[in-house]
Structure 1
Amino acid sequence: MKERFVMDCGALYLSKGKSENFQGDDAHFVCAEKGTIGVADGVGGWWSRNVDPGKYARQLMQNCVEAIKNRAGEEDIDPKTVLLKAYKETKLEGSATACILTLKNNVCLFFLFRSQHLHAANLGDSGFLVIREAEVVYKSPIQQYKFNHPYQLGKNIADWKKIEELKVTVKLGDIIVLGTNGLLDNLRPSDIKAIVNNQFHKKKKSEASFAAGPEHFHMGGKRDDITVIVARVCRASHSGHSSRLFRRMVKLIIGS
């Protein structure tokens, strides 16, 4: 039987807050043993009611991890089921967008062939890209009523009915970039692709010159918390080899 594929991941969070004690609105998790990752973005409008939306996002992600762990012994993780269970267990005031992904290994006839796909549950304006052979082959759709007014999970909010399930075929070597809207509102897919390609393909430019180059320097933009998880589809025996590279790549993405 062919070897199982996994996601080799790196993650980073950058808060827009100036205080070291400010945890920000975003949250995320990486559950490597179950091939599942997720991000959440607390909806900032709650600050006007003196409610910290980051607490809701962090509790939601923690409840996702608990829902995954409670499925011990079960190979198949259903991201929509996980997200709905986590939502029902999150009792705090506030609301958040969320996107969680799991990598599925499908064993075909006589165990002779494996196919892989991402199974995602998404609500709101967080999302993900799949980059293959230097090209963006998939970008998840944004769910929002209007700009800066996304679908969201929260108490007495019925948007949970709009959670979208997505299935995307992936191949060995594909790069997955999962991020909150702080990333996706400020960088185009082509910008993210350029940074990823620079790290995975030999180029004359150094990392420093690439990041500082005028074509990759952005003025303005929407000031927001940013969470990024970068994952590479690889064989299980090769996982963990790219963690340093991913951390560097994530810093470049956020630094742009």
Structure 2
Amino acid sequence: MTRSQDLVWNGIRREKLRLKCGSFYIAKDRASKPQGDDSHFIYGVGGWSKHGVDAGLYAAELINNSLLATLTQPLTQVDPMKVLDEAFSKTKAQGSSTACIITLQEGNMLHAVKVGDSRFMVIRRVEIIYKSPIQLHSFNFPYQLGNSANCAKPRQAQVIKVRVAAGDVIIAGTDGLFDNLFELQILATASKGIEQDLGAEEMVWEMAQLAYQPSRDKAAVTPFMEASKRAGRFRDGGKGDDITVIVSRILGA
């Protein structure tokens, strides 16, 4: 299809788009270097330490198996559900993990699967045009993939499709991001980056640092604090947690 033959859906021109990504991870007690670019993502968290299990091993194995699964599929036609299924079946470590896999496919479509409270939002200029739901059993108890009988399985994943356009920004992250920053804070930071034409790597650094500050502040007003009150727990301040943030910019051909 030539550029002159492009289609228009709801005011969005169909064209060949690309993802430019930047990611950053901040552990509870230290910051890491930015991670490399990719168009398919998965993040994991877990609370197994009190049982003597390093849940990071499960998440790391799941991530690695997900990457290997994407390599067997055409770049612009990666099926995130197939990726999750294959990665889950090959992950044998103890522990559990939330997950979110996002890929940009032909036709201006984001395809995603997610389990738990790792999630994403799509921002167009100064507006959130989509935000993914979360899966919780109860307050601070998200669905998690794992090999234990009480863990979620891929069939319980939420399957999501979102039409995007050049210039859109995708903010994806773990609960360490979304429990410490309100949506309006995320939107304001992303909109500022769009206005200044910042790269994904620059935007992700600012977003991660912005989330880290309230995570260490016991007096901060945060989404986590408000959610705890609604659940009758009354926990003040931010949520001290690992923070994974991925910022992606949708670019035209």
User: 1:6 corresponds to which letter in structure 2?
Assistant: R
User: 2:49 corresponds to which letter in structure 1?
Assistant: W
Compute the TM-score of the two structures, normalised by the length of structure 1: 0.73
Q: Secondary structure at the match of 1:38?
A: coil
RMSD: 2.4
Distance 2:96 2:110 in 1: 26
2:86 maps to: 85
- Residues 29 and 38 in structure 1, CA contact (< 8 A), matched pair in contact too: no
Q: Mark the CA change 1:185 to 1:65 in structure 2 (over 3 Å): closer, same or farther.
A: same
2:190 maps to: 196
Q: CA deviation at 1:29?
A: 7.5
Q: CA deviation at 1:37?
A: 2.2
- Residues 76 and 105 in structure 2, CA contact (< 8 A), matched pair in contact too: no
**Residues 189-219 of structure 1, C-alpha deviations (whole Å, 9 max, x = no match):** 11101111122225xxxx9xx99xxxxx742
Structure showing the higher strand proportion among its residues: 1
Q: Secondary structure at the match of 2:93?
A: coil
- Residues 123 and 129 in structure 2, CA contact (< 8 A), matched pair in contact too: yes
1:53 maps to: 55
2:24 maps to: 12
Q: CA deviation at 1:228?
A: 0.5
Describe how 1:46-195 pairs up with structure 2 within 5 A: 46-71=48-73, 73=74, 75-106=76-107, 116-157=108-149, 158-160=151-153, 161-195=155-189
| 2:41 pairs with 1:38 | yes
- Give the ranges of 4+ consecutive aligned residues of structure 1 lying more than 4 Å apart after TM superposition: none
Structure 1: runs of 5 or more not aligned: 107-115, 212-216, 237-256
Q: CA deviation at 1:70?
A: 2.2
Q: Secondary structure at the match of 1:63?
A: helix
2:227 maps to: none
% of aligned pairs identical? Answer: 40
User: 1:17 corresponds to which letter in structure 2?
Assistant: D
Distance 2:160 2:103 in 1: 11
**Residues 51-108 of structure 1, C-alpha deviations (whole Å, 9 max, x = no match):** 000111111111100001122x4641110110111011100000000001001112xx
Q: Mark the CA change 1:74 to 1:41 in structure 2 (over 3 Å): closer, same or farther.
A: closer
- Residues 173 and 245 in structure 2, CA contact (< 8 A), matched pair in contact too: yes
User: 1:64 corresponds to which letter in structure 2?
Assistant: S
Distance 1:17 1:88 in 2: 32
Compute the TM-score of the two structures, normalised by the length of structure 2: 0.74
Aligned residues: 204
- Residues 29 and 37 in structure 1, CA contact (< 8 A), matched pair in contact too: no
Distance 1:39 1:127 in 2: 10
Q: Secondary structure at the match of 2:240?
A: coil
Distance 2:72 2:29 in 1: 34
User: 2:143 corresponds to which letter in structure 1?
Assistant: Y
- Residues 96 and 152 in structure 1, CA contact (< 8 A), matched pair in contact too: yes
Q: Secondary structure at the match of 1:48?
A: helix
- Residues 176 and 243 in structure 2, CA contact (< 8 A), matched pair in contact too: yes
Q: Mark the CA change 1:74 to 1:201 in structure 2 (over 3 Å): closer, same or farther.
A: closer
